[in-house]
Amino acid sequence: MNTIHEAPQVVSMFEGQNKLIVNFFDSKLFQNFIGGQAATDATNSSEVLFSVGVKSP
């Protein structure tokens, strides 16, 4: 688990050897990221937000 980025509406964890951060958000918080309205009908599909960062040697 990633306790550095924890919040009541977020489950955060590290994945793999490179410690990729994976966050699961409450749907209401996710709607704030995408402009306040649901982009899809949650009964027919789901939404994913990707944020990728890399380090250079």
How open is the CA angle 52-54-55, to the nearest 5 degrees?
160
pLDDT in tens, 1-57: 777 767 777 888 888 887 888 888 777 777 777 777 766 676 776 666 677 777 777
- 45: tokens are 């599909």
Spatial separation of the C-alpha atoms in residues 6 and 40, rounded to whole Å: 26
Instruction: Please report, for the chain, the start and end positions of each structural domain, with discontinuous segments joined by +.
Output: 1-47
Q: What is the pLDDT of residue 16?
A: 84
CA distances from 4 to 17, 23, 51 (A): 18, 12, 17
The answer to whether the beta carbons of residues 3 and 14 sit under 8 Å apart is no
pLDDT at res. 4: 74
The pTM assigned to this predicted structure is 0.52
- pLDDT at res. 38: 67
